[in-house]
Amino acid sequence: MNFPSITTVIGFMSLVGIAQVASAETVRYINGHWFIGEKFEKRDVAVLDGKIVAGRDAVKTVDLRGGYVIPGLAEAHNHNFQNCYLAPQMAQAYLKQGILYSAQLFATDPAGAECAPLFNSGSAPSTAFARIGITSSTGHPIGIARAGAKEAGMDMSFDQLVDGMLIADSVSDLQRKWPHFKTTKTDFVKVILIDEENGLANAKRPELDGFNGVTREVLEALVPLARTAGLRVVAHVDTAADFKLAVQAGVDTIAHLPGYRIAKNRTVKDYQLTEDVVKAAAANAVTVIPTMAASVYHATARPNDASAIAGLYMHNLRLLRKHKVKLLTGSDRFEGSVLDELNALAGTGLFQPVELLEMSTSATAKWMFPQRRVGCLEQGCEASFNVYENDPVKDLARLAKPVLVMKQGAIVARNGKLVKPE
């Protein structure tokens, strides 16, 4: 729908006046249904200086005309802002859809720092970065970087390809390089585990060059180093054994669910989590980003595996839910977002829509920015929210089309169009 109703109370000029700039005057939002975790509640909410306040003395009133309000959506696993060239365009697409938080989970390219002004402005989602990324000299994502360089016709040396990454083939490599990396301003440390059980043999297979990860010893040495530096560790995992190793080593977050692909020399069983490991993950408060949307890459390339992949997700997600492991929503889809992940998770039929809403707003935003009052709509929370014409719980597809998007007290998009800064 068009959203002229808010202008009926405050007038168009007033609306323009609050666009992209957090109002220094209290604005009261009336007649909205506000998401309070399990349901919507009809209430009026006031915003001042980018925050939700008690707000008795509102200068302006905005009529939400019965609209539904949720905290901004959050994408927990992506890489599409890591490329400074594409980031502004991608950031705009996210804002239009009310995706107000994003985590970029291997942002080690030194050139990425050029984008800092974008992420410090109101023109991009609040973005958390893994600016420390650790892999082996034959590890992921070097293979992707190499393929990208080749496609672009660039002849890059190994050192150029891994510029900014922490390459550790041994504990001594890690210990030697860590002092240089540990002071990096980062939200997470990302570490790569891919079929660690066979890692040493895989490292010698030319076809896997660029697609392996670190050893158990490197991971086990890394976690205490990161903890001492006050940094959280996010692990990329591939097999069920990798997941188990990550839990045992004490990582904070696991950034994939085994089963998003089935490697050529592997079977379904190698990706099935077991109950004891999932219980340990719950006991250690490990958070998991299933990235179910990313499984489409493998399922499309090898359609014969599609049903096995779907079965693996059902098996693993059921166990995680049974033991109440905290799940976060991230797609790891270059051209996609949290909306793709919500679609994939909803398709399993395992989740209640309100559960997915809570996961993709509150839980994921709080994981990204534990020091901030985000992903909430109470007094004191950042005023970052989306308004929908109709109840999104009744149809999650509605989430893609907010009629109004507010970020830290400033309107950034309306009816799918960005609101230009003043």
Instruction: Yes or no: say if 176 and 102 are a contact pair by the CB < 8 Å rule.
Output: no
Instruction: Yes or no: say if 174 and 143 are a contact pair by the CB < 8 Å rule.
Output: no
Considering the complex, what minimum distance in angstroms separates the CB of residue 141 from Zn ion? 8
CB closest to Zn ion, residue no:
332
Cβ neighbours of 247 (radius 10 Å): 25
What is the per-residue binding string for Zn ion in 276-315, x denoting contact by CB under 5 A?
Answer: ----------------------------------------
Considering the complex, what minimum distance in angstroms separates the CB of residue 214 from Zn ion? 16
Should residue 196 be labelled a site residue for Zn ion when binding is judged by CB under 5 A? no
Should residue 341 be labelled a site residue for Zn ion when binding is judged by CB under 5 A? no
Kindly tell me which of 190 and 366 has the beta carbon lying closer to Zn ion. Answer: 190
Kindly tell me which of 254 and 282 has the beta carbon lying closer to Zn ion. Answer: 254
Judged by CB under 5 A, the number of residues near Zn ion is 1
Considering the complex, what minimum distance in angstroms separates the CB of residue 387 from Zn ion? 31
Question: How many Å apart are CA 304 and CA 360, to the nearest integer?
Answer: 31
Q: Label residues 279-314 b or e (16+ Cβ within 10 Å = b).
A: ebbbeeebbbbbbbbbbbebbeeeeebeebbbebbe
Considering the complex, what minimum distance in angstroms separates the CB of residue 232 from Zn ion? 16
Residue 276 neighbours by CB under 8 Å, 6+ apart: none
3-class DSSP string for 225-280: HHHHCCCEEEEECCCHHHHHHHHHHCCCEECCCCCCCCCCCCCHHHHCCCHHHHHH
Considering the complex, what minimum distance in angstroms separates the CB of residue 198 from Zn ion? 21
Instruction: Yes or no: say if 52 and 69 are a contact pair by the CB < 8 Å rule.
Output: no
Question: How many Å apart are CA 237 and CA 314, to the nearest integer?
Answer: 18
Should residue 332 be labelled a site residue for Zn ion when binding is judged by CB under 5 A? yes
Considering the complex, what minimum distance in angstroms separates the CB of residue 79 from Zn ion? 6
Choose one: 40-48, 92-100, 325-333, 406-414; the region binding Zn ion (CB under 5 A): 325-333
Considering the complex, what minimum distance in angstroms separates the CB of residue 77 from Zn ion? 6
Considering the complex, what minimum distance in angstroms separates the CB of residue 178 from Zn ion? 23
Choose one: 148-156, 186-194, 245-253, 326-334; the region binding Zn ion (CB under 5 A): 326-334
Kindly tell me which of 196 and 332 has the beta carbon lying closer to Zn ion. Answer: 332
Nearest to 95 by CA among 105, 85, 87: 87
Choose one: 205-213, 237-245, 328-336, 388-396; the region binding Zn ion (CB under 5 A): 328-336
Kindly tell me which of 270 and 332 has the beta carbon lying closer to Zn ion. Answer: 332
- Which residues partner with 27 through β-bridges? 47, 60
Tell me which residues in 61-120 interact with Zn ion (CB under 5 A): none
Choose one: 50-58, 279-287, 307-315, 332-340; the region binding Zn ion (CB under 5 A): 332-340
Kindly tell me which of 135 and 408 has the beta carbon lying closer to Zn ion. Answer: 135
Q: Which amino acid is at 90?
A: M
Backbone angles phi, psi at 408, to 5 degrees: 45, 45
Question: How many Å apart are CA 106 and CA 229, to the nearest integer?
Answer: 19
Which tokens in the block code for residue 182? 């540990």
Nearest to 346 by CA among 386, 401, 394: 394
Kindly tell me which of 133 and 375 has the beta carbon lying closer to Zn ion. Answer: 133
By CB under 5 A, name the binding residues for Zn ion. 332
